[in-house]
Each structure stands twice: as structure tokens, then as C-alpha cells.
Structure 1
Amino acid sequence: MTAATDLHGPAHVARYLETDGEDGYHWRNGTTILILFTTGRRSGEQRSHALIYREHGDAYLVVASKGGADAPPAWFVNLQADPDVEVQIKGDRFRARARVATPAEKPEMWATMTEVWPDYDQYQTKTDREIPVVVLERA
């Protein structure tokens, strides 16, 4: 069986959901993972993504980096079209509303995220796209 730290994409999501995060919540370099459920903007189908997150007050932060690609991740484009999402953290699945951090909020939130995943800074140097921090607030 693949170690939880080697999981990616659909395999990571599947193992996380099967085990309520027992496998897949703790990931690489001390990071923790949530599952974000968005609605496909064209298909209307539910999509799920395993993302590094940090708590921020009553909200949760994720970064729409896609490794520094010039195009944003599909999940981000989907939540821009429909910000009503679901989030699962371990066995707790709940409705949330997604928004992009404001210019005033972003520096602190970015620092919170790069503290746990320093590669985000490197990803930003690879693209002219401003990589957003997404705030997930319980609905």
C-alpha cells in the first residue's frame, strides 16, 4: 500500500475519504490536508481535491498555486464560478463559502501558508499570475 505521504490527486482523495483522514490528513513536511469539493463550472459535477491547508481564526486557508503554472488550478476556476463549496477535514464534512484573500489580508495569510509549505514562494517566481490565497469560511 502506498504511504500517505506519497499520495497525490484522486488516490489521495479516495484514501482520505475512505479513512476519514486517518490516511492522508498528515502529509509531507508536517503539512495537513483537507478535501475541497467544488462544482464543475461546465459539467455541474462534484469535483474533489486534496489541498494543504492551515486554520486561520474560524476559517481555513488554501493556496491556488498549481506549482507555479501560468494557468490557475481548475478547482480555483470552479469556485470562482460557484463559491459555495464543501470541505472535509478528517471526518468533519461541512458547507463553506470560498473567497480570495483581499490585498490587505494576503501578506499575513501568505506568510501563514509559506511557513508550512515554503515552495509557494518559489512557485510565485515561476509565473506572472498572482497566486491567490483562498479563504474557506463555514457556511
Structure 2
Amino acid sequence: MAEPRKRPARLPPRWFIRLAWKVHRALYRVTRGRRGLWPPRPGKWGTMRLTTVGRRTGQERSVILAYIHDGPNLVTLAMNGWAEPEPAWWLNLKDHPGADVTLVEGARRVRARAAEEDEHERLWALWRELDTNLDTFAARRPETEVVILEPESAPSGK
């Protein structure tokens, strides 16, 4: 018996993806943070609010991103809705790696960096478990960075 044909992975139109982001941010803002964020669960990523410093303006910029845990670190993908340019938040973090993250459990200060080689492969595999179309979507971009947000250590009381 022949295997059923798998339909190729399709993304919604770019305008729809951008609208969904705007609606998600508006929901978070209108509910004063009571809606719009959730923790990762088995087989599902969570959402966080990331606040960076704009590389050109120096002003705070906030986005809502998907993430997973890797020990104490938060891991996200710099994918820009699978469009080609790198997301502005990632460009901001490259210039100013310190950022603030808001999770359902509370806020924390983090420092961003790109995953390297073996670490990138290991973390990409974790994301692939959550989305079987990950490689298909990623092929639309030159490269998708795996971004690690490490907790900043508390300043010493000297």
C-alpha cells in the first residue's frame, strides 16, 4: 500500500504573519501583560517578551518571541517570520547583547549570544522536535541563528 503523500509545508502570506504579530503585541499591551505569554510545555514552545536597546535610536524596543528552555538559558530563533532579512531585535542584540525578558513567571536580565557549531546543532534538533517543518521553513533564509539568552549574574554588593 502506498504511503499518503505529504503536502509541502506552507507559510501564510507575509502580511498575515505581520498582522498576527501586531495582534499578539496588542493583546499583551491591552491586557497589561495578563495575556499573550505562556511557558513552554512538553512538545510546545512558550512565548516571552524581549526588550532590547535599538542599535540606531538607543530606545527600548520590545517583541514577543517563541522560546524553549535549555537549563537556565532561554533559546529562540532569529527567523523574522521566515522572511530573508535578520530580525531587528537580533541586530539590536548584536550591538547591545544585554536585554530584559518578561516571562509568565516574572522578569529577568539576560545576555544574548549566537549558538556555536555543536551547540547550534543540538539546540536546532530540540526545535526540530517541536516543528517537523523547521528545516523546510529555514531553507527560505540564508541562515537562521539560534539565539541563547543567558541569565546575567546579579551584581556584587561591593
Same fold (TM over 0.5): yes
2:64 pairs, out of 34, 44, 50, with: 50
For the aligned residues, what is the CA RMSD?
2.2
Q: Distance in 1 between matches of 2:80 and 2:133?
A: 11
Name stretches of at least 5 consecutive residues in structure 1 with no aligned partner: 1-6
1:65 aligned partner, one-letter code? M
Which secondary structure state, in structure 1, belongs to the residue aligned with residue 117 of structure 2?
A: coil
Q: Does 1:32 pair with 2:41?
A: no
2:147 pairs, out of 122, 134, 137, with: 134
Name stretches of at least 5 consecutive residues in structure 2 with no aligned partner: 1-18, 153-158
Asked if structure 1 preserves the Cα contact closer than 8 Å seen for 2:38 and 2:48, the reply is: no
Q: Which runs of 4+ in 1 moved over 6 A?
A: none
Q: Does 1:12 pair with 2:24?
A: yes
> What is the correspondence of 1:1-139 to structure 2 with a 5 Å cutoff?
8-16=20-28, 18-20=31-33, 22-26=34-38, 30-127=44-141, 129-139=142-152
TM-score by length of 1: 0.82
Q: Distance in 1 between matches of 2:69 and 2:126?
A: 9
CA-CA distance at 1:80 after TM superposition: 0.4
Which secondary structure state, in structure 1, belongs to the residue aligned with residue 143 of structure 2?
A: coil
1:87-110 CA-to-partner distances (Å, cap 9, x unmatched) read 011151111000000112011101
Cα distance change, pair 46–118 in 1 and its aligned pair in 2 (3 A): farther
Whose radius of gyration is greater, 1 or 2?
A: 2
TM-score by length of 2: 0.73
Q: Distance in 1 between matches of 2:59 and 2:147?
A: 21
Structure ranking higher on relative contact order (CA contacts 8 Å, 6+ apart): 1
